[in-house]
Chain A
Amino acid sequence: MENLFLEKSNKTPFIEFDANRGYLLIEGRSIPEDALDFYQPLFSWLDSYSKTAQEVTVMEFKLEYFNTSSSKCLVEILRRLEDINCEKHVEVKWFYEQDDEDMQESGEDYMQLVNVPISFEPY
């Protein structure tokens, strides 16, 4: 299975989905005009990955800002990880800047919504 790398832009985050290591990273700012257009390849990749997922999958979110549409797409990603977590082990790490309480609280909201363990990592 091919890995997925997307360079970051002013409006979209850096994406590193490494199937061999079971390491997934979304980093930066996510304010695309068409969130679904940006996230659809990620959904498709995750759908394929779920069939051959590693024993342990680590998903890291290092977001500094994301818009409302992106927040819905993040739910979709977490839903897919929730499915993978039923058979394999998934760890989600939610990174946020030390003084960014909003980002921390957003992560806590996601934790309440999905059935995947989320750990919080201030930096």
Chain B
Amino acid sequence: MSASGAERPLPLPDADTAPYWEAAARGELALQRCDGCDAWRFPPRPGCPRCGSLASRWERASGRGTVWSFVVVHGPVLPAFAERVPFAVVLVELDEDPRLRVVGNLPGVAPARVRIGMRVEACFETVADGVALPQWRSAE
């Protein structure tokens, strides 16, 4: 919640994505893996983009990655984000597989310090009762 009273948008889990958010609430970064070919995948979805298998499991990921890209958001933005601008949003490539790219923030890191190639590790930001977002902090 921001001081302006505008509520931050929160994820609405569905049958395929709920395990991701439930893990985050426990302070874990969990990802889907295919039962057919063992490939990791993100975002969560029913089928494997590599082998087409509909069988999958959830495994805890290392939580380590590298900034693949980033932006610095300026206004106009949703009221929920207004008091934070300018703020950085990163796209993190996970160590498990280069095509696992996760959107996140780097709480506490000034936008000017963010750079592509920066090593990061997962942390968790509680944003509502029972809801936590996987986030990132510098691992350098």
Q: Do A and B bind each other?
A: no
Which A residues contact B (CB, under 8 angstroms)? Answer: none
Which B residues contact A (CB, under 8 angstroms)? Answer: none
